[in-house]
Amino acid sequence: MLKKSLAALALSAALWSGTSHAETISVFCAPTEFEICTNVANAWKEKTGNEAKINKMPALLDDAIPIYQQLLAAKSTDIDVLFLDVIWLGMFKNGLLDLKTTIPQADQDKHFASTLNAAKLDGHLVAMPAYMDVGLMFYRKDLLEKYGKPQPKTWDELAATAKEIQDKERAAGNGEMWGYAWQAKSYEGLTCDAIELIASNGGGTIISDDGKVTIDNPKAVEAIEKAKGWIGSISPEGTLNYDEEASRAVFESGNAVFHRNWPYVWGTSHKPGSAVIDKVGVMPLPVGSAGQKSSGCLGPMYYGVSKYSAKPAAATDFVNFITGPDMQKKRALQDAVNPSIPALYNDADVLATIPFLKDNQQAFADSAVRPSGYTGTSYNRVSQAFYRTVHDMLSGSGDVKSGLKSLAARLEKLKESR
């Protein structure tokens, strides 16, 4: 009996060492992307025999920062692959493995050069692009058609159209209808929403690439005052505490004409449970005045490997796999997010799922970039000072003009990276 089981053990050990050594790595994924991550992990297992365990991140992505912080500071081997926002790369660069030589150059070259370059810090490639994110305007094409309205080109047109349709819909008995759902909670997302309004009005992006604080200007004042007027008229007062998901709930329950969000809403608004399936249109964000650029906030996402991973080879392979063309296509088909690989923008299957994808290339080109490049490790405090100030202004306390002036003075002190 004992002999038999010993023999079986020896045999299985021999088999074990004979096959390639299967490894299990641990991966972070956004909660809204759990499904696609699981699919990718399954495909990866089929291909390599290795397993990837998926860990859900907090719903407010910024809440992942302390988790990463702790794991990296403790040099933890518990986690191998990190999911990263572009604005975090500077913050975590010391904890991320250099992928420059371990991921084939040909694979790197498949991505948008600008997106890949944003992950090259101090000569290291700290992460690989997973997909592009840019602020887009979703709208109810059925309602625009019903009231014979064109796609608005400027924010003023959008506000006027929103107001008119909202009022008429309410008069027709749809009392819950609102004109415009967006995000103005006191959080990172408000930095995005506000920078879009200001940049598309010709008011710059808070701090210019060469480090000049530009936020104190009349165009920025005008843009914020405009948005302030929307709260309570075309946008519910709750907007002041809405993040992406809370505002999406308003739009997908059919209670908003316009909705500013990221490309993933195209996917979610066409899934069961949405009240607006096939009623949704999407366009680049409006501009402040004719001649300005539509300035969607640019937020590509990345995957990187922890420097303290015990299985760096497997983890790097997974990162290359999940950011590669096949998986990005899968992601585009399943969740309608925008790939970071230009070749996929001509892919027939992808275009069938995301018909507006080609227009998005223009949105990427015109996008507004948050000033994380210049501010580096100081980005978070710059952004917090900014979104808190804007939140104060939107909620009615504080004069916009003098507020931006004092904000500019504070940013002068906060802006320098270490």
Q: Which residues bind another protein (CB under 8 A)?
A: 60, 62, 65-66, 69, 72-73, 91-92, 94-95, 176, 185-187, 236-242, 246, 249-250, 253, 255, 377-378, 380-381, 384, 388, 391-392, 395-397, 418
82 vs 199 by CB, closer to another protein: 82
Find the shortest distance in angstroms from Cβ 65 to another protein: 6
Find the shortest distance in angstroms from Cβ 94 to another protein: 5
User: Residue 138 is inside which H or E element, if any?
Assistant: strand 136-140
Contact present, 304 and 82 (Cβ < 8 Å)? yes
In one-letter notation, the amino acid at residue 86 is V
287 vs 297 by CB, closer to another protein: 297
CA distance 83 to 68: 10
CA distance 315 to 79: 10
CA distance 298 to 215: 18
Find the shortest distance in angstroms from Cβ 16 to another protein: 40
User: Residue 90 is inside which H or E element, if any?
Assistant: helix 89-92
CA distance 291 to 1: 85
88 vs 364 by CB, closer to another protein: 88
Joined tokens for residue 273: 């449970």
DSSP label of 331: H
Find the shortest distance in angstroms from Cβ 60 to another protein: 6
Count of helices and strands (H, E) across the chain: 19, 11
Find the shortest distance in angstroms from Cβ 257 to another protein: 14
3-class DSSP state for residue 13?
A: helix
110 vs 248 by CB, closer to another protein: 248
3-class DSSP state for residue 298?
A: strand
Find the shortest distance in angstroms from Cβ 54 to another protein: 21
92 vs 303 by CB, closer to another protein: 92
131 vs 230 by CB, closer to another protein: 230
Q: Which residue has the tokens 């922890």?
A: 306
